[in-house]
A and B are shown apart, each in its own frame.
Chain A
Amino acid sequence: MNEPDWFLEFRNRVETAESNSPDYRHGLSINISPVIDPMGKPFAKSAIISSNEKILVNEDVFNSDKILEFKECLEEISGDDKLQNKMLAECTDIIFIVIPSSSTKKIEIGLAGAGSVLTVILAEKNSKAEILWKKKDEVAESTYIFAKDGSSVTFTAIQEMSGDCLESRKAIISNDAYVNWANLILGADYTRSETSSFLNAPGASTKNKALYLADNDQRMDIYTGSIHNSSNTSSDIVTKGAINGKAKALSRGLVRITSEAPQSDGYEKQDALLLSDTAEADAIPNLEIHNHDVKCSHGSTVGQIDKDKVFYLMSRGLSEKEAQLCIIQGFFSPVLEKLDDEFRETLLVRIMERASHEK
């Protein structure tokens, strides 16, 4: 199909955008430069998109009566670095989800196949959305949530992909709106996951949970960010992962409170549990505070399973494997409350499966 000129202009803008960031950011000596090969021609439906509700995909977007809203959103979209800009510029498919004012929607979306998918979610005033997002195969993902005044969006993602996973997600949050991210990262050889919330108006709030299991030779680079650009905003980041085999995981967090954001409240915590002697993890919480009138705290832990805890549980009749499982489940369970059932069950099942593969 022919895409409209304004979309070609968008591609052109992001492709040529200046970026202060390095070409590709990565940690843990992971030296890869992921190539976004268009992996299919634009709008050739190389990415397989499924949904329980009618959503706008590709030409539907251009033909919809919400086209003005889409174009407005597009103006605010750009990547933070060259990789993200490339993902956008060479996107193969687009999805546009509108949650009309004061309505409530529950949408389940599956992404598979190959390609680079740009998704725009527009939650209109006082709307409420729960989105369950499931990824397989090898799609690159750029997702933008625009949470308008008083809206609430819960975005729950379960990633069980093969190949490489490149995902960049951003929420632009307005007055008294709320965005709740829950990201479960299980698959892919290499994952580069970035999820950030921009708290751009008074009363905006966000939660951002990223949970992961890394095993074998998996590499995970997980970034979570809260950018406070307005007063009375609040954010809460929790990253938790268990790393086994020869896997490496890096989790970076950022809470930035600008001078425009007094009386804001930011929190971030990153925990990593190492399950083998060859696993590696790094947890880096960053704070950037440019305002005195705020509350902000952070913490991080990287540790192995405590042998005394294993002994304690075994002394009550649990086998060594059961004791370890109990500790791993216990490590995650405090943050599993209030999460989507499928998210929780998938994590617990995968923990069990992986534990039973060992030795």
Chain B
Amino acid sequence: MLEIKDLHVSVEGKEILKGVSLRLENGKVHALMGPNGSGKSTLANTLMGHPKYEITEGKIVLDGEDITDLGPDERAKKGLFLSFQYPSEISGVTIPNFLRTALNSITGEKISVRDFKKLLEEKMTLLSMKKEYTDRYLNEGFSGGEKKKAEILQLLVLNPAIALLDETDSGLDIDALKVVAQGVNEFMAKDKSVLIITHYKRILEYINPDKMFIMVEGKIKLEGKGDLVDHLEEKGYGWIEDQ
């Protein structure tokens, strides 16, 4: 379980998160929605430990352990994963090479090339990814949809405990969205926890959220069950203010 307690975060001296508290529970799908600029991506990057985001107050607690001061690599080893809104392009590094290094770092064990190949192929098949992907450099020259698929591939191979999906559904066509949702559902089948950050109801039709949070101006303004999204869709964010 990931607990976020009264989190205040500043970027270059400007406070973006103004006291966020929420819990991500095991075995549950959580969704976070909110207007542009409300701080959703800031929360995702802060949870993963981006050095640009300064935590001025509050705590992040993973399974009872305070991880507020840990670096991104240590958080990854403890089971956190972030699917990036804008994944970086890493020239000269192929997906299999990179992902095997990452998997070895996280597990602290060395997976054989053969076992890794098998694992990778299995997950790629699941995501309808062509074999040619493995010859290409990580995210370099990928289309928006390909990048998001590559993020979900990494999620499935690294198999963390908690996945934060920062607008993984943005820019996907219907077919790609279905594939991504299938990937997330596959991941969830193993009693994991996921936080879906999104602007659209669309993805939540394929992945049913158990809990919803609405963020406005750096705070969680409303939380509820999965059906909250229907009210929101109907009435817009202005409606939150009246609650």
Q: State the A residues within 8 Å of B (CB).
A: 306-309, 311-320, 322-323, 326-327, 329-334
Could you list 15 A-B pairs, sorted by A, with CB under 8 Å? A314-B73, A315-B75, A316-B102, A316-B105, A316-B106, A317-B103, A317-B158, A318-B101, A319-B105, A322-B101, A322-B105, A323-B73, A326-B93, A329-B92, A334-B91
Q: Other than A318-B101, A330-B91, give 10 A-B pairs with Cβ distance below 8 A.
A: A306-B88, A312-B90, A313-B98, A314-B71, A315-B48, A316-B102, A326-B93, A329-B93, A330-B90, A330-B93
Does B82 make an interface contact (CB < 8 A)? yes
- When the two chains form the complex, which single residue of B48, B71, B99 contacts A320, counting CB atoms closer than 8 Å? B71
Whether A327 contacts B90 by the Cβ 8 Å rule is yes
Is the C-beta of B18 less than 8 angstroms from some C-beta in chain A?
A: no
Contact at B98–A326, with CB atoms within 8 Å?
yes
Is there contact, CB below 8 Å, between B105 and A311? Answer: no
Distance in angstroms from A322 CB to nearest chain B CB is: 7
Chain B residues closer than 8 Å to A306, beta-carbon distance: 88
Q: Is the CB of A309 within 8 A of B101?
A: no
Shortest Cβ distance from residue B19 to the other chain A in the assembled complex, whole angstroms: 25
Confirm or deny: B154 has a beta carbon within 8 angstroms of a beta carbon on chain A.
yes
Given contacts A309-B88, A326-B101, contact A315 B93 (CB under 8 A): no
Q: Tell me, yes or no, whether B137 is within 8 Å of chain A by CB.
A: yes
* Residue interface bits B47-73, CB-to-A below 8 A is 1, else 0: 011111000000000000000000111
Contact A317 B77 (CB under 8 A): yes
- Chain B interface (Cβ within 8 Å of chain A)? 48-52, 71-73, 75-77, 81-82, 84, 87-88, 90-93, 98-99, 101-103, 105-106, 137, 154, 158
Most buried by B among A307, A311, A316, A326: A316
- B98, A314: Cβ atoms closer than 8 Å: no
Q: Is the CB of B88 within 8 A of A316?
A: no
Given contacts A322-B101, A326-B98, contact A315 B92 (CB under 8 A): no
Inter-chain CA distance A311–B72, complex, in Å, is 7
Taking a contact as CB atoms under 8 Å apart, the answer to whether A314 and B88 are in contact is no
Closest A-chain residue to B107, C-beta based? A317
Question: Per a CB cutoff under 8 Å, which of B50, B81, B84, B137 touches A330?
Answer: B137
Residues of B within 8 A of A316 (CB): 76, 98-99, 102, 105-106, 154, 158
Chain B residues within 8 Å of A322, by CB: 101, 105
Give complex CA distance A316, B72 in Å.
Answer: 8
Q: Nearest-CB distance from A8 to chain B (Å)? A: 51
CA A307 to CA B49, docked complex, whole Å:
13
Tell me whether A312 and B73 are in contact (CB under 8 A). no
Complex formed: what's the CA distance from A313 to B101 in Å? 10
Give Cα A329 to B105, complex, Å: 18
Interface centre among A313, A317, A323 (most CB of B within 10 A): A317
Interchain CB contact under 8 A, A332 and B101: no
Cα(A319)–Cα(B74), bound, Å: 8
Q: How far is the CA of A318 from the CA of B48 in the complex (A)?
A: 13
Expressed in whole angstroms, the Cα–Cα distance for A332 and B51 within the complex equals 27
With a cutoff of 8 Å between Cβ atoms, the chain B residues found around residue A308 in the complex are 88
- CB-contact partner of B106 in A312, A317, A320, A330, under 8 A: A317
